[in-house]
Amino acid sequence: MTGGGRAVLLLPVLLISALFAQIRASDPLFHESFNESFDGSWIVSGKEEYKGVWKHAKSDGHEDYGLLVSEPARKYAIIKELDYPVTMKDETVVLQFEVRLQNGLECGGAYIKYIRPQATGWNAKDFDNDTPYTIMFGPDKCGSTNKVHFILKHKNPKTGKYVEHHLKSPPSVPYDKLSHVYTAILKPDNEVRILVDGVEKSKANFLSAADFEPALIPSKTIPDPDDKKPEDWDERAKIPDPVAVKPDDWDEDAPMEIVDEEATKPEGWLDDEPEEIDDPEAAKPEDWDDEEDGEWEAPKMDNPKCEVAPGCGEWKKPMKDNPAYKGKWHAPLIDNPNYKGIWKPQEISNPEYFELDKPDFDPIAAIGIEIWTMQDGILFDNILIADNEKVATSILEKTWKPKFDVEKEKQKAEEAAAGASEGLSEFQKKIFDILYKVADIPFLEPYKTKIIDVIEKGETQPNITISILASVIVVIVTVLFRALFGGKKPVAPVKPAAETKKPSAVVPDAAAGSSGDKEDDKDAPCRRSRRDA
């Protein structure tokens, strides 16, 4: 057969091969649309603690089905074993899924665990929080936690131990009740990109210590755990002068301020006029009940006569700085002749150190959802694993985008119908987001739990948002005053004259908290310690 004949015979083979390659490139490695019931395909955990009921349900306003968290305040666990493991060694891997928080998310998770291969004999019914995973990815919000987690469990080749490595700068969770799609793209060059609704929100390098905590590659040296500071090691740079003595004329008891005996009462001072008087225009409210509300008193207002006078009421000589005040005497500080610097243990080689060109990812053998949430209405959909970004984008455009557009238009219409009063909702969400970050400020640590109690109270009662903000500000100001002035409290602000009735809603005191004497609900995940972190 001539060369031309062989070429003619090979041409159909090449075309068929190219066609199959194209089809393969357009297919995801795994895609769960939940168009059909999950029974028999997904396995619900048989562990006693997971009492939450999963349902195959439609997304609100759509004909599209998803996997629904149907009950509040429950633990949920369900797993899908893949037909064959997905390796993540030398090619791009895209992890993507949709979540719709139809009733919001005050406290709980909506993330997915990508499970590594289990030991022989393992049963999917045994799936729980302790089941080893290779990646955990997705939204989580509770108290000060508000992030789209990305956690890699990586095996140390020196010790054989798995370590959790957390993305340091994860994006925050969208606050609304719309469908959102979360995407993690793992590249062969060690890059990982986190997208929300197809928009990149975070980018990191797996081998960068600046991007993951702890770093995948341990430090070459560590402080010697057996090295102890010598007993005679002096870390004081300055010491009181041991030969200094208090001067004979130093009076430690002299007051900081004394009465200004040279002061005289200003001319025109109104001794017989009070600074405040009853508001003559105020009237007792018609619904005021003396037995229930107590005896009504008219609100006070500034005395108008005092506005044109130098002052009203009893005049007293003012205080002035005492020139004789010196305070408690302390010996002056001098350089410490025995100062040796701040002691640190010597560095030794880290026995757990290893070098790495790229992460040694474990394969993905199953997909599991194991969460603890206070909300129902969480709907998972279109869970996808692909080795091609275009495939993931195509599915996003076909499945998520049309739903999101419909939901967004409906949301705009509802906001327009509700009027300007509802326009504060987005503003409120931003305020609460800021307040959660404020609660994480180190010097507010003793008050963190109580501040979060107040914030969560505000999230359930949007009409008191400004009062919640004021309460948190009061806590911050109080802490600052105590730090600066040794416990002195700021002067309480004067209440407005128009405030004649008891408020309709009681705002919890920021310093006292809102939980009262109620016992903590052991089943509630709020302000939990990180179970998967």
Could you give the CA distance from residue 20 to residue 15 in angstroms, rounded to a whole number? 9
Pairing of strands 378-386, 347-349: unpaired
- Residue owning tokens 């010790």: 159
Pairing of strands 212-213, 162-167: antiparallel
Q: DSSP label at 374? A: S
For 244-313, the DSSP string reads ----TT--TT--SEEE-TT--PPTT-BTTS-SEEE-TT----TT--HHHH-S--PPEEE-HHHHSSS-BS
pLDDT at 75: 96
pLDDT at 484: 60
pLDDT at 502: 39
Backbone dihedral angles phi then psi of residue 154, each to the nearest 5 degrees = -125, 140
For 383-407, the DSSP string reads EEEES-HHHHHHHIIIIIHHHHHHH
pLDDT at 482: 63
Which CATH number applies to 25-224+357-408: 3.40.50.2300, 2.30.30.90, 2.60.120.200, 3.40.50.300? 2.60.120.200
Closest alpha carbon to 34 in 26, 42, 44 = 42
Mean pLDDT by runs of 10 across the 533 residues of the chain is 51 45 66 94 96 95 95 96 92 96 92 96 95 97 92 96 96 93 97 97 96 96 96 96 94 93 93 91 89 90 89 93 93 96 96 94 97 94 97 97 94 79 61 77 72 70 64 70 52 40 38 39 40 40
Residues 6+ apart with CB under 8 A from 72: 373, 374, 375, 376
Q: Using alpha carbons only, give the angle 300, 301, 303 rounded to the nearest 5 degrees.
A: 120
Residues 6+ apart with CB under 8 A from 504: none
Q: Where in the chain is the domain with CATH 2.60.120.200?
A: 25-224+357-408
